[in-house]
Structure 1
Amino acid sequence: MSARLLIISSIVTVLGFSGVCGSIMLEMRRSAQELARQTQENLASTIGADINRNIELYDLSLRAVVSSLALPELAQVDAKIRNLILFDHSVSAKHFGPMQVFDPTGRLWLDSATLTPQSVDRAGEEFFRVHVEQPDLGLYISRPMQHRGTYSVVLSRRVSAPDGSLAGVVAGSIRFSYFKDLFNRLHLAPQDVIAVVARDGTLMMRTPFDPGLLGTNVMTNIGIDKLLGQRRGWFSGHGKIDKIGRMYVWADSSRPLIVLVGRSWDDVFVMWRQEALRIGAILLVLAVIVAGFTVFFIREIDRRADAERRLEELATTDGLTGLTNRRKFDLVMDREWRRAVRSATPISLLIIDADHFKSFNDNFGHQAGDQVLVGIALCIADSAARAADCAARFGGEEFAVLLPGMNATQSQGVAETIRRKVELWSEGQAGVTVSIGVASMTPAPSQHWSVLFEAADKALYAAKDLGRNRCVVAASRADLNLVA
């Protein structure tokens, strides 16, 4: 007893130090992650503000052109004065392309860079077609594309006639040199990534620059709805090309273009990892000191635990089919029922019975009957494969499947899948089929799960009365209204 108490005291001491050190390490890790998130959010906010401010400025110029085109006096002035009036407020920075006005057919009509525009037809371009199809769109930001010989993002607005019909489209562009100059001013780690994403998930620009990714949807893994659902936030993801795990942070998803700043988890936790290794080494020395005293007892505990586990499996598993037995099923049923009551979610039960099984046993023998039961069990287990599903053999030729979270329609689909699989499998087994009773309900606190069981059982008898080899769904009331 004194040796055992010494060992227990030593283990408690080691665990105590481990708990204290572990909590410190977790807090350090959380602090490192939070610091990285704040840093990346500030960077994303700064870059996003610069990009979207320039888009707003350019959009103001587009609006000015649209407003000026509505002036009736514009048709009476010569081309030079008309260009001065239209493009007086246009942005003229080196990274912004000239503004162009296209007529309703897509032909180039006016160009801020020249008084004699070239003969160009843009009717087939996406930035033109979208305004034809969506009159109320407003500002449209195109995918990255070749525009006037340069990789650019085209910004466009619809010009409407007084009657609301299409009078033209005014368009301009922001060259990729703007984004490159902006990103080149930043000091980034080798594995850092900055991406500019449109509100539909389209990648507009990225550093490190990769032209193969431009225009693709990079938000398929996380889902653009999550990004737009929160104004600011972060998620963990892997790069499409380098597969490096990163923390991606965005600062303002309400803007036309969203900036994602990604930093590799290795860089986020580099300092924390060094401290963790040092603390871990100290704990390892302490653990080695007590390891010699505990190894024998650990082996004994493992042996006992393994034996208990095997006994529990034998006690809760049907020996023939490998499914859960009735005793274990009742425990699972009670637990899932109470969970459904707390969360007010539906729960469904299937009761399955092999048709004419006694006759099959009489004709082919019990060994063949056992093989049929095993086959039916495999079909059931293959169809109810969710982690929360519980398939059990009640005894003889009767089975049950518990489907937490499923409504009547969904559970009927599972039941029909089981029935078809058994029917197809049993074509070479003298045509053994199954009848299935289905019951589903959202339980009330005052109800017991036996109500659901009774409903499914009555639905099973109804399936047999209707000719077998079918599924019948029962209403969740005690009077059991049946729906075929």
Structure 2
Amino acid sequence: MGFGRRKDTASRPWRLSAKLLIVSSVVTILGFSAICTSVMLDMRHSEEELARQTLENLASGIDSDISRNVELFDLSLRAVANNMVAPELNGVSKPLRQLILFDQAATAKHFGAIQVFDSTGKLIVDASTLDPLPEDRSGEEYFQVHRDQADVGLFISRPMLHRGAYAIVLSRRITGEDGRFLGVVAGSIRFSYFHDLFGRLRLGADDIITVFRRDGTVIMRMPFDLDLIGKNLGDVPGVRRALSEPNGSYSGTGSISHSPRLYVWRDGTRPLVVLVGKPWADIYRLWRMEATRIGAIMGALAVFVLGVSLFLAREVDRRAAAEEKLEELATTDALTGLRNRRKFDASIEDEWRRAARQKRPLALLMIDADHFKTFNDTFGHQAGDEVLIGIAICISDSVHRAGDCAARYGGEEFAVLLPDSSPAQAFAVAETIRLKVEQWCGETAITTVSIGVASVLPDANSEWTAMVNAADRALYAAKADGRNRTVLAHNPKLSLVA
């Protein structure tokens, strides 16, 4: 015995040293990992901020160029619309009318000629000729919008084939002094403008530039994709956000390429909104290479520590499982599989205090096998053990709640603790147990059980032993009344639940 004690004493410092070694190693690795992670995250954040600033500058430059040309063209449309309602225009010759209307009109190789349509959609004035051919634009979207809505202002059409070239049409309503609709003045900006603008930029292979109309319609895209031109993406969350906020950024996937990108826009309040996107893979390429190198070193170290930790953890788990098994054996009755008296005493102490705090009832069933001693002496201890096992099974089948505690109280006596159970509920459980035992015995009448039931409302000044005594007295009363019955305790000295 002395040697055994020395062996146990010698093993305890080893276990303490092993745990200390594991904790120290893990803390060290975590510390270095935290430092490396912090540095790498700062580098990642710097790369992201640099990319965002670069894209913001790009978006701002494109947006400024487009907005300047749109504003310049809009000024020409405004001038024509105002001059069309001037009284001085009536009766003048065509050359003079052209001079009055289009003297200040913006001209550029990418701008289409400005045209004026009357209230029926018929072409009446064309900046490119004194004698325009007949045209009817009453079916066009831009004409119908101005005809039906007086407050549209500048309207930018969907991308369309206009006068032999793909373009967007910019238009304004001509309104008389009395508010009547007199017609529409319209001009176009050809796609060649956007191709020329984007062609001057140095973009990555997977960079994207998209120009949207206010409703989410794609006006132009780089790389150019005819299938997307004119498509409405207003329901895409990122696009919807870009059209509703003055500036910002978001991360998302494209409508064609599903690689995640950083999208940036600068001014979402203008008629045309420029959205610039760059793949996160390109943004983080250099950072990822550095992170991979550092991560490989840290990963190798972490794997080593993890392997050692898992080995030691497995040994600890084995020991903990053995201790749990011993604890279970120490609190379980070996014959019946129910809790033993030691576990029952601990449970009733805890449940009594809990019931007193929560002011909830606590019930106890005391169960005793009838004529067990006679049966045991007649048929032997093995048969008696089988009877006790059968009674335990009947009890286990009748007690299902997690907080209930069924135990072998001693010899042929059993106890069942029922938290939060009224007298009627506890009595019903007791009768279920009694009837199951009676049915299990069958016609041979091996044995039956008598049950005493007590249900009390604990308080801070009471002891659980009073409930046990009350259940015992009820059990004795059941046996005195002829056995194979359940008796509910009634004791005025206890705080019995009504």
**Which bracket does the TM-score occupy, shorter chain normalised?**
0.5 to 0.7
Letter in 2 for 1:71: A
Query: Counterpart amino acid of 2:23?
Result: I
Q: Which runs of 5 or more residues in structure 2 are unaligned? A: 1-15, 325-498
For residue 211 of structure 1, the aligned residue among 226, 245, 249 is 226
Aligned partner letter, 2:47:
A
Distance 2:298 2:147 in 1: 69
**Match among 18, 39, 42 for residue 54 of structure 2:** 39
2:284 pairs, out of 266, 269, 272, with 269
Shift of 1:237: 1.5
CA distance in 2, matches of 1:287, 1:33: 28
Match of 2:30 in 1: 15
Rounded Cα–Cα distance in structure 2 between residues aligned with 1:298 and 1:275: 33
Partners of 2:314 and 2:61 lie apart in 1 by 58
Find the counterpart in structure 1 of residue 242 from structure 2.
227
Q: How does 1:1-12 map to 2 (within 5 A)?
A: 1-12=16-27
Does residue 179 of structure 1 match 2:194? yes
DSSP-derived class of the 2:237 partner: coil
Q: Does residue 193 in structure 1 map to residue 208 in structure 2?
A: yes
Name 2:480's counterpart in structure 1.
none
1:54 corresponds to which of 44, 69, 72: 69
Give, as a single letter, the amino acid of the residue that structure 2 aligns with 1:70.
Answer: V
Q: Does 1:152 find its partner at 2:167?
A: yes
Partners in 2 of 1:107 and 1:300 — Cα distance? 92
Counterparts of 1:287-298 in structure 2 under 5 Å? 287-298=302-313
Contact 1:199 1:224 in 2 (8 A): no
String of CA shifts for 1:387-431, please: whole Å, max 9, x gaps. xxxxxxxxxxxxxxxxxxxxxxxxxxxxxxxxxxxxxxxxxxxxx
1:441-463 deviation per Cα after TM superposition (whole angstroms, max 9, x unaligned): xxxxxxxxxxxxxxxxxxxxxxx
Structure 1 contact 98–113 (Cα < 8 Å) conserved: yes
Q: Residue 120 of structure 1 is aligned with which of 122, 126, 135?
A: 135
Residue 187 of structure 2 corresponds to residue 161 of structure 1: no
Q: CA 1:193–1:301 in structure 2 vs 1: closer, same or farther (change >3 Å)? A: farther
Q: CA RMSD in A?
A: 2.0
In 2 relative to 1, CA 178–298 (structure 1 residues): closer, same or farther, beyond 3 Å?
A: farther
Structure 1 residue 289: Cα displacement: 3.2
Percentage of matched positions with identical amino acids:
57
Of the three residues 243, 256, 260, the one matched with 2:275 is 260
CA distance in 2, matches of 1:296, 1:18: 22
Structure 1 residues 470-481: aligned runs within 5 Å: none
Query: Residue deviations 1:3-44, cap 9 Å, x none?
Result: 221121111110110011111111111111111111101100
1:68-147 equivalences in 2 (<5 Å): 68-147=83-162
2:268 and 2:65 map into 1 onto residues whose CA distance is 14
Residue 244 in structure 1 maps to residue 256 in structure 2: no
AA aligned to 2:50 is L
Task: Report the 3-state secondary structure (helix = DSSP H, G, I; strand = E; otherwise coil) of the residue aligned with 1:286.
Answer: helix
SS at match of 1:85: helix
In structure 1, distance between residues paired with 2:185 and 2:164: 19
* Per-residue deviation, residues 173-230 of structure 1 (Å, max 9, x unmatched): 0000000000000011110000001111111100000011011122422155522442
Gaps of 5+ in 1: 309-484
User: Which of 293, 297, 311 lines up with 1:278 in the alignment?
Assistant: 293
Could you say which structure has the larger radius of gyration? 2
Cα deviation 1:294-318 (Å, max 9, x = unaligned): 122444688989xx9xxxxxxxxxx
Structure-to-structure mapping, 1:344-359, within 5 angstroms = none
- 1:313-359: per-residue Cα shift (whole Å, max 9, x none)? xxxxxxxxxxxxxxxxxxxxxxxxxxxxxxxxxxxxxxxxxxxxxxx
What amino acid maps onto 2:24 in structure 1? S
Return the letter of the residue paired with 1:7: I
Q: What CA distance in whole angstroms lies between the structure 2 residues aligned with 1:107 and 1:261? A: 40
Contact 1:200-1:224 within 8 A present in 2 as well: no
Q: Secondary structure at the match of 1:76?
A: coil
Q: In structure 2, what is the Cα distance between the partners aligned to 1:216 and 1:274?
A: 38
